[in-house]
Amino acid sequence: MRLSGFTVAIDGPAASGKGTISKAVARHFGFAHLDTGLLYRAVGAKVLDGQAAQAAAEALVPGDLEDDRLRSPEVAQAASRVAAVPEVRAALVDFQRSFATRAGGAVLDGRDIGTVICPDAQVKLFVTAHADVRARRRFDELLGKGIETTFEEVLADVQARDARDMGRADAPLKPAKDAVQIDTSEMEIAVAVEAAVSLIKAKMAGSA
């Protein structure tokens, strides 16, 4: 079974379940996992601190991914804005591609993994869900963390981020032509993970 350089690319919009699926898949196969959104969140956090976006991306170090603020709504919106900056994306491409080809296999989740970062990935998935479903998930998550907001505000944020991610000129969010789509709107996460694992197993069997 050829694991060296075996890459699983998982894309999708915010709160679609791609992160949860990616982590579960990585654990199942013993692959390394990279949430590429954290890279942009880290840059976004630095921009909120007053740094220029390109300079922040070029100076990014692994320790920046440990910032406790990275899961906040403010940083999420900042991440979506800096992700539309071509110079930021260019600065982070090499890091992501190097991670993807590491020995032992890798799972990367983001918004342009299958289309731009790893167009030759052995497995490409596009995880999605209706905007109101994703907003409800994010709303419940924020309430669980004690963050006060309203469902309407969260839905507006989700829709604004979708518009930015899908409408940007450089590497817009969209499924790769050969990606398998998984809609989690009415699907239990365990079922979605099982579907992803089955697809990867089939591909690995064909690569043996």
For 127, list phi and psi in degrees, rounded to 5: -100, 130
> In which region does residue 79 sit, left (phi positive, over 0), alpha (psi from -120 to 50) or beta (all else)?
alpha
According to CATH, the topology of domain 7-200 is: Rossmann fold (3.40.50)
Kindly report, residue by residue over 47-81, the tens digit of the pLDDT.
999 999 999 999 998 889 889 899 888 998 899 89
Q: Average pLDDT of 39-46?
A: 96
16 is in an annotated binding site: yes
Closest residue by Cα to residue 179 from 150, 199, 163? 199
| pLDDT for res 169 | 87
pLDDT score for 147: 87
User: What's the whole-number average pLDDT of the chain?
Assistant: 93
Q: What percent of the chain is modeled with pLDDT above 90?
A: 80
CA distance 16 to 30: 23
Query: Which stretch of DSSP H or E encloses residue 121?
Result: none
- The closest of 204, 176, 34 to 114, measured between CA atoms, is 176
Question: pLDDT tens across 85-96, in order?
Answer: 999 999 999 889
pTM score of the predicted model: 0.88
Residue 187 has pLDDT above 50, yes or no: yes
Residue 177 in marked binding region: no
Q: Is 23 within any annotated ligand binding site? A: no
Question: What residues have CB less than 8 Å from 89, skipping those under 6 apart?
Answer: 83, 112, 170, 171
- From the CB of residue 61, how many other CB atoms can be counted at a distance below 10 Å? 7
123-140 average pLDDT score: 97
**Residue 198 annotated in ligand binding:** no
- State the Cα–Cα distance between residues 73 and 41, nearest whole angstrom: 10
The confidence score (pLDDT) of residue 2 equals 45
20 assigned ligand-binding residue: yes
Query: pLDDT class for 100, splitting at 50, 70, 90?
Result: very high
19 is in an annotated binding site: yes
pLDDT tens-digit profile of 108-122?
A: 999 999 999 999 999
Return the half-sphere exposure (C-beta side, CA atoms, 13 A cut-off) of residue 77: 11
Beta pairing partners, 127: 182
Six-digit token pair at 106? Answer: 């890798």
4: exposed, middle or buried (Cβ count in 10 Å: 0-12, 13-18, 19+)? exposed
pLDDT digits (tens, 9 = 90+) for 146-166: 989 999 999 999 999 999 999
Return the domain boundaries, the chain. Answer: 7-200
Say if residue 18 carries a ligand binding annotation: yes
User: pLDDT value at position 71?
Assistant: 85
| Radius of gyration, CA atoms only, the chain | 17
Q: What is the mean pLDDT of residues 99-105?
A: 91
Of residues 62 and 11, more confidence is placed in 11
Mean pLDDT of 165-190: 95
